[in-house]
Amino acid sequence: MERSLRNINLPVNSNTQVDDGHLFSKISYEFLKKIFSFISLDKDKQTVLFVCKDWNRIGTEVFAASIFTDTQLLVAYMRKSMNTMKHLFKGHKGVKPKMLDKLEPDASDAAIYQAVGYKGDVFVRVRDYGESLKYVDPAFQNDKDIVLGAVKQNGCALKYASEALRNDRDVVLAALQQRNWSELASVFEHVSAPFLEDRSFMLAAVKQNVRVLGRANAIFQKDREVVLAAVKEDGDALKFANAIFRKDRNFMLVAVNRNGLALEWASTELQDDKDVVLTAVKQNGCALKYASAALRKDRDLVLLAVKQNGCAFIYASAALQADKVVMLAAVNQNGDVLKDARFIYASRVFCEDKDVVLAAVNQNGNALQYACLALRQDWDIVLAAVKQKRAALKYASAAPQKDDDIIFPSKRKRQKQADK
């Protein structure tokens, strides 16, 4: 029957093309439906599979009910055409085989896969959508490979794992990689009590996700080795630790070396410690925000901060915000700092300073939009901006936008070379 279908003379459109691996690609849709409606599932399963594979849209419409009532056909269909399985199930929710009767109407594809016993396909589905572990057969909920795939995608899937796997160290550690704070709390609700009291387990857990420290027992938040392990991964972990560590200078030096913004959690005394603050701004200039008022007046320290991150300029003292050397260092690192200067009284004058604006547009041509009107029609400024970013021309005043030497700088360069 399958061979006869391949050889049948069917009406086609004038632009029909023939592919050796398929039948005609543009055949009368209704005509095919009529032909296929005469095919008997009982007499020719292979033909049904052939039709569903080569014309999945027509095939699933004509044979959906048949496929879902025959387990052997369903398995074979999945093997031949996995890509259309999802369409088949969603398009015919009212027609389900008896083996799926107990599943919810919106059950995930994993439910279909597990129903016919395909571990590989269940794994693929839970890897993409962890919580589909909820719908699978208990045998798969007790399969370590499948459960690991699920909890790595969504730690909350741990609650659907078998009791044995909820007590498996590897599975629980994988689940605790969950970064979302509220979802991490949900994961903790299903972690077995022995793990929550196991120091070696906590050490391993905080090394892979420092947020675990925030949900851990208070005993571990005071444990120097556990906290240090977390801080070495991310200095910001200090916010989850006991307050005693915020006064510990050695701890703070380790923390800000990993994440300068961890300076936020330091004690007032350490935020006024120049060595600690220097270490912090070397890692992230914006850590200047958490330095003491006295250190935000330190010119050398502020220069170091803005050279690392120009945006740190806004955290400098008012006196240093009016310092041209500091401003030049900031715009050389990030031209967009000129935008902030417009709204700071002490720095507003720099939007009218040709040296500062030129440095800013050399770093980011779009910074031209923050310059004063006079400089947005300055030939040198506009040309520098356009060389850095062609689209910056739209921020120039009307006259430069019509200047051929600015619009076509390469043409001007060739003309100069010709004149020589």
Q: Is residue 287 part of a domain?
A: no
pLDDT band at 70 (very low <50, low <70, confident <90, very high): low
Each residue of 48-69: b (16+ CB within 10 Å) or e? Answer: bbbbbbbbbebbbbbbbebbbe
Structure tokens at 266: 């330091």
Q: Give the residue numbers spanning the domain of 414.
A: 293-420
Q: Is residue 274's pLDDT more than 90?
A: yes
Q: Is residue 236's pLDDT more than 60?
A: yes
Q: Is residue 379 part of a domain?
A: yes
What is the Cβ-side half-sphere exposure of residue 341, based on CA atoms within 13 angstroms? 32
Q: Is residue 79 part of a domain?
A: no
pLDDT band at 66 (very low <50, low <70, confident <90, very high): low
Q: What is the pTM of this model?
A: 0.61
Name the domain count of the chain: 1
pLDDT band at 52 (very low <50, low <70, confident <90, very high): low
Q: Is residue 355 part of a domain?
A: yes
How much is the pLDDT for 84? 46
Q: Is residue 316 part of a domain?
A: yes
Percent of the chain at pLDDT exceeding 90: 35
Q: Is residue 217 part of a domain?
A: no
* Mean pLDDT of the chain, nearest integer: 77
Query: In terms of residues, how long is the chain?
Result: 420
Q: Is residue 369 part of a domain?
A: yes
Q: Which residue has the higher pLDDT, 344 or 283?
A: 283
Q: Is residue 98 part of a domain?
A: no
